Amino acid sequence: MSDWVQTACILCECNCGIEVQLDGRRLERIRGDKAHPGSQGYTCNKAMRLDRYQNGPHRLTSPMRRRPDGSYEEIDWETAIAAIAAGFKGIAEEHGGESILYYGGGGQGNHLGGSYSGAFLRALGSKYRSSALAQEKTGEGWVEHSLYGSHTRGEFEHAEVAVFVGKNPWMSQSFPRARVVLREISRDPERSMIVIDPVVTDTAKLADFHLRVRPGTDAWCLAAMVGVLVQEDLVDHGFLAAHVSGAEVVLERFAQVDVAGYADHCQVDEALIRAAARRIAGAESVSVFEDLGIQQGPNSTLCSYVNRMLWILTGNFGNPGGMHLHTSFVNLFRDRTIRRTPVTGERILAGLVPCNVIPDEILTDHPKRFRAMIVESSNPAHSLADSPRFRKAFEALDLVLVIDVAMTETARQADYVLPAASQYEKAEATFFNFEFPDNTFHLRRPLLQPPPGTLPEAEIWARLVRSLDLGVVDDTELARLREAAGESRQAYAEAFARATTENPMLSRLAPYVLYETLGPTLPDGLESAAAIWGLAHRCAMTYPEAVRRAGHADGNELFDAILDSPSGVTFTRDEYGHDFERIVHPDKRIALALPEMLAELATLGDGPVRRTTDRLPIVLSVGERRSFTANDIFRDPGWRKRDADGALRVSADDARRVGLVDGGRARVTTARGSAEATVEVSDAMLAGHASLPNGFGLDYTGKDGETIVPGVAPNSLTSSDWRDAFAGTPWHKHVPARIEPVGG
Ligand code: SF4
C-alpha cells in the first residue's frame, strides 16, 4: 500500500480535498484531506467510492475510428491526429471555422484539459461553444452580469439567515463543508434556515421555514416575499441610497404585488411567507443560494432576478455572512456580450449556445448551420434534453470528434474518439473557485500513470495544433521561450511578453505555446500545469491586492505556490466591503431595474400557467440529486449501495390514485417518450409531483459481457423545446407526465 497521496473528489463542484492510499492501481483507502484549505477534511459518502470511477472496465485505450457500417476500429495516434486535424481544417476552409461547435471542456473538477482546446479552436476560427452550464446557469449569469457584473456567493458559514431556493445542499452540496454548516445553522437558535422547495428535502427537514411551493410557482412565492419587504417597509433605504441605482422603479413594482393572491397561487400560507420575509429583514446577515429547482423550471431567469431582491433590498451585500462578489481563478462567466446563434437567433449568454437549441442549429439546410462538433469530457447525447433528437443531430454532422475516457453514448455518435487519461492520471484542477473571503485553488498531481494508449488532453491538443501545420509559430520562437523557462520564472515572463508582442499569434495560441515551452520544465507529471502559469498571472493582475494578502507577491509566486501545495492553496484573501469596487458599472452601484425582468414580473398578475394536461397531469422533475447519484462520469453502477434503479418518487396520494405500490414498477410517459421505473412512495413529494434522479440510464458492460442499463435516462423523456424563453435553459424540473402501474 502506498503512502497517503493528496488529490480531490471529482463528483460535485466542491471538489473536496481527499487523501488516497493506492494498492497498485486501486484507490484502496480514501479519507478527507484536513490540509485542504477549503474542505478541511470534509467529504460526503460519495468520495469513498471513487475507485469505481478510476478502475471500471470501461476505459478506452486506443483512438477509434468509425467504419462506414457504424462499427469502430482501433487506429494509431499518428493516423488519428492527422485525419482529425485535416478534417477540421477542411471544414473550416469550406464553411468557415464558425461552423465547428465545441461542447464541454470537463465536468466537475477536470477543467484543466479543456483549457488547452482554445489554441486549436482559435486556429480554425471556431467561435461557438457550449457546455452543461448552458442548461443551468446562463439565466442566472445574465442577471448577475446585468445587476453588478459577476458571480456572487453567500457566506453561509457566518450567515444569520440562510435561504435556499430550489436547492438541497444536503445532497447537492455546492459550498464547502455543506452538511456541517447546515447542521450548525439548524442547531443555533439565533440563526435560521429558509427553504423554498416543493419537496421535503433533507435540507427542508432542517429548516425553520419551509415554503413548500406548488411545483413551477416559485416566482409567485419569491415575488410575494419581496412584496412583503416593500409593502411593510422592511427595506434598507440607507443601503439602497448608497449602493443601488434604479431602486425606485423596482420598489414601485413590488408595492403592487398582491401578496395574498400570490401566496394562493403558490399554495404557501401567506402568514409563513410574511414570517420568512420578516426574518430576512430583521437579520444581521443573509445568504441566498438558488439552484436547479428554479433554474430548470418555469420563469427561471425571473426567479434568479427576484430572489436577489431578498438580499439586495435588505442590504446584505459585502457584509460578513452576506453575499459577495468573490474572486475567480478563471472567470467562467466573463463573456458579457449577448450574441445570437447563427440559425435560430437564440441568445448566447456567457458565451454559451443554449444546449436545447443545438439540434435546431444542426438539423436544417441553413447555410450557417453547424457542420462539425468537438466534444470534450462531456456526454451531451445523454445529458441534454431529447437524447433521440440529439443523436439525429450528430448523424447529420460532417465530422464529430469526442475526447473521453470511455465509449460514452456521445462517443458512439462520433467519427473519431480519442482516449484521454483519467482525472487521476494527469495534473488536474477545477475552476469552480467561488469562496469568500478566502478563495482556494487546488492543482492535483496525478496519482497514477495513464494506461498505454491514452494521453492527457494537453498533449492531445498540442498534437492537433502541430498537425494543422499553421506556419505561424516558428520553432526558433518556441526554442527561445524554452530556454528562458529553464532559466527562471522571471526570465520566462519577460521572454513570453516579448514574444507575444512581436508575434500576436502566439498570444492567441497561448495554451499550446505554454505547454510546448514551459511544460517540459515543470516537475514530472505536471507538464499540463503550464496553462496555470498564464492563469495565475491573469488572476494576479485582476486582483493584485487580494492575491498579495493571500501571500503571493505576483503571478510567478502564485504559480509556484500552486505547484508546491499538493493540498491546494489560498490564492486570494478578501476584505469585507471590497465587493463594491468589483461592481462593473461605472458608478459602482447595483443596477437594480432590468426592463426585461420587470416586464416578465408584470405577467405574474395573471397567475401561473397550467403546463400539465388531463393526459399528462403530473409534474415530473428529472435529475434529482440523491445519496447515490453522481454526474455522468461515474459509469459503474456498482458504486451505489442503495437505490440501484434510481426509483421514481411519487406521493402517497398519487400512488393510491393510480394504483402504484412501493417497490412496484411504473411506466412514465411524457410528450417526448416513455420509460419504466421502480416506484418509491414518498412523503417528501406533493400530490401531482414526481421525481427521477440524475446519473442513471448510462449503459455498462457487466462481468460476463452483458449490457446493463440501470434506471431511466432522464433525457429520453425531456423535450428540447421545453425551455426558458429568455435564457433557453431547459425545464427539466417541470415535465408534464403520466404515470401508470406496469401491467395496469
Ligand atoms: S461528492 Fe462533492 S461534497 Fe461529496 S466528497 Fe465529493 S466533492 Fe465533496
pLDDT tens readout for residues 271-317: 999 999 999 999 999 999 999 999 999 999 999 999 999 999 999 99
Q: For the CA atoms of the chain, what is the radius of gyration?
A: 25
pLDDT digits (tens, 9 = 90+) for 10-48: 999 999 999 999 999 999 999 999 999 999 999 999 999
Query: Does residue 720 contact residue 732 with C-beta atoms inside 8 Å?
Result: no
pLDDT of residue 22: 97
Distance between CA atoms of 141 and 290, rounded to whole angstroms? 12
Q: Is the pLDDT of residue 334 over 80?
A: no
SS3 per residue for 604-636: HHHCCCCCCCCCCCEEEEEEECCCCCCCCCCCC
pLDDT of residue 654: 98
pLDDT, mean of residues 412-417: 97
Could you give the 3-state DSSP secondary structure of residue 297?
A: coil
The Å distance, Cα 46 to ligand 1 centre, comes to 6
Distance between CA atoms of 355 and 509, rounded to whole angstroms? 27
Q: Is the pLDDT of residue 449 over 90?
A: yes
The Å distance, Cα 158 to ligand 1 centre, comes to 21
**642 to each of 465, 652, 665, how far by Cα in Å?**
46, 21, 17
| Residue showing cell 494543422 | 468
174-191 as b/e, with b when 16 or more CB fall inside 10 Å? Answer: bbbbbbebbeebbeeeeb
Q: What is the grid cell recorded at 708? A: 446493463
Give the confidence band of 629 by pLDDT, cuts at 50, 70, 90: confident
Least confident interval from 354-358, 364-368, 643-647, 665-669: 643-647
Q: Which of 39, 44, 627 to mutate to test the pocket of ligand 1 (most atoms within 8 A of CB)?
A: 44
Q: What is the grid cell recorded at 480? A: 527561445
> What value does the mean pLDDT of the chain take?
95
Give, in degrees to the nearest 5, the angle at Cα 104 between 103 and 109: 175
The Å distance, Cα 43 to ligand 1 centre, comes to 5
Give the confidence band of 169 by pLDDT, cuts at 50, 70, 90: very high
Say which DSSP state 419 is in: E
Query: Does residue 378 contact residue 394 with C-beta atoms inside 8 Å?
Result: no
Q: Which residues lie below 8 Å from residue 562, measured CB to CB, with a gap of 6+?
A: 441, 443, 529, 532, 536, 569, 571
Q: Is the pLDDT of residue 670 over 70?
A: yes
Could you give the 3-state DSSP secondary structure of residue 421?
A: coil
pLDDT of residue 622: 96
The type of residue at 206 is L
Count the Cβ atoms, other than its own, within 10 Å of residue 205.
Answer: 12
Q: Which of 13, 14, 179 to mutate to test the pocket of ligand 1 (most atoms within 8 A of CB)?
A: 14
CA atoms 660, 663, 664, 665: torsion sign: positive
Distance between CA atoms of 727 and 145, rounded to whole angstroms? 13
Question: Is 596 buried (19+), middle (13-18) or exposed (0-12) by CB count in 10 A?
Answer: middle
Q: Is the pLDDT of residue 472 over 90?
A: no
The Å distance, Cα 290 to ligand 1 centre, comes to 19
Q: Is the pLDDT of residue 143 over 90?
A: yes
Distance between CA atoms of 81 and 463, rounded to whole angstroms? 7
Residue 741 pairs in a beta bridge with: 666
pLDDT of residue 344: 97
Closest CA to 576 of 320, 382, 355, 331: 320
pLDDT of residue 109: 79
Distance between CA atoms of 546 and 558, rounded to whole angstroms? 12
pLDDT of residue 559: 98
Q: Identify which has the larger pLDDT, 334 or 248.
A: 248
Distance between CA atoms of 65 and 75, rounded to whole angstroms? 7
Give the confidence band of 157 by pLDDT, cuts at 50, 70, 90: very high
Which residues surround ligand 1 with Cβ inside 6 Å? 9, 11-12, 14-16, 43-44, 46-47, 173
pLDDT, mean of residues 458-478: 90
pLDDT, mean of residues 380-397: 95
Q: Which atom of ligand 1 is nearest to the CA of 109?
A: 7
Look at ligand 1, atom 8, and give the residue with the nearest C-alpha. Answer: 16
Look at ligand 1, atom 5, and give the residue with the nearest C-alpha. Answer: 43
User: What is the H or E stretch that residue 161 is in?
Assistant: strand 161-165
Look at ligand 1, atom 7, and give the residue with the nearest C-alpha. Answer: 15
Q: Which of the given ranges, 333-342, 501-510, 628-637, has the highest pLDDT on average? A: 501-510
Q: Is the pLDDT of residue 331 over 90?
A: no
Could you give the 3-state DSSP secondary structure of residue 381?
A: helix
Q: Which own/partner pairs from 502-508 qualify as long-range (CB within 8 Å, at least 24 positions apart)?
A: 503/472, 503/473, 503/474, 503/477, 505/472, 505/473, 506/473, 506/477, 508/119, 508/122, 508/123
Give the confidence band of 743 by pLDDT, cuts at 50, 70, 90: confident
Query: Does residue 321 contact residue 284 with C-beta atoms inside 8 Å?
Result: yes
Q: Which atom of ligand 1 is nearest to the CA of 47?
A: 5
Distance between CA atoms of 526 and 15, rounded to whole angstroms? 19
pLDDT, mean of residues 546-573: 98
Distance between CA atoms of 401 and 411, rounded to whole angstroms? 8
Could you give the 3-state DSSP secondary structure of residue 403?
A: strand
Query: Does residue 374 contact residue 87 with C-beta atoms inside 8 Å?
Result: no
Residue 201 phi, psi (nearest 5)? -75, 175
Q: Which of the given ranges, 336-345, 439-448, 627-636, has the highest pLDDT on average? A: 439-448
Give the confidence band of 744 by pLDDT, cuts at 50, 70, 90: low
Look at ligand 1, atom 4, and give the residue with the nearest C-alpha. Answer: 44
Q: Is the pLDDT of residue 475 over 90?
A: no
Q: Which residues lie below 8 Å from residue 145, measured CB to CB, with a gap of 6+?
A: 333, 336, 350, 584
Look at ligand 1, atom 2, and give the residue with the nearest C-alpha. Answer: 12
pLDDT, mean of residues 652-661: 97
As a whole-number percent, the residues of the chain with pLDDT over 90 amount to 90
Distance between CA atoms of 627 and 676, rounded to whole angstroms? 21
Give the confidence band of 741 by pLDDT, cuts at 50, 70, 90: very high
Question: Is 76 buried (19+), middle (13-18) or exposed (0-12) by CB count in 10 A?
Answer: exposed
pLDDT digits (tens, 9 = 90+) for 692-707: 999 899 988 877 888 8
The Å distance, Cα 49 to ligand 1 centre, comes to 11
* Dihedral angle, C-alpha 551, 553, 555, 558, nearest 10 °: -20
Least confident interval from 60-74, 568-582, 699-713: 699-713
pLDDT, mean of residues 617-625: 95
Q: Which of 170, 173, 181, 444 to mutate to test the pocket of ligand 1 (most atoms within 8 A of CB)?
A: 173
Q: Is the pLDDT of residue 590 over 80?
A: yes
Q: Which atom of ligand 1 is nearest to the CA of 15?
A: 7
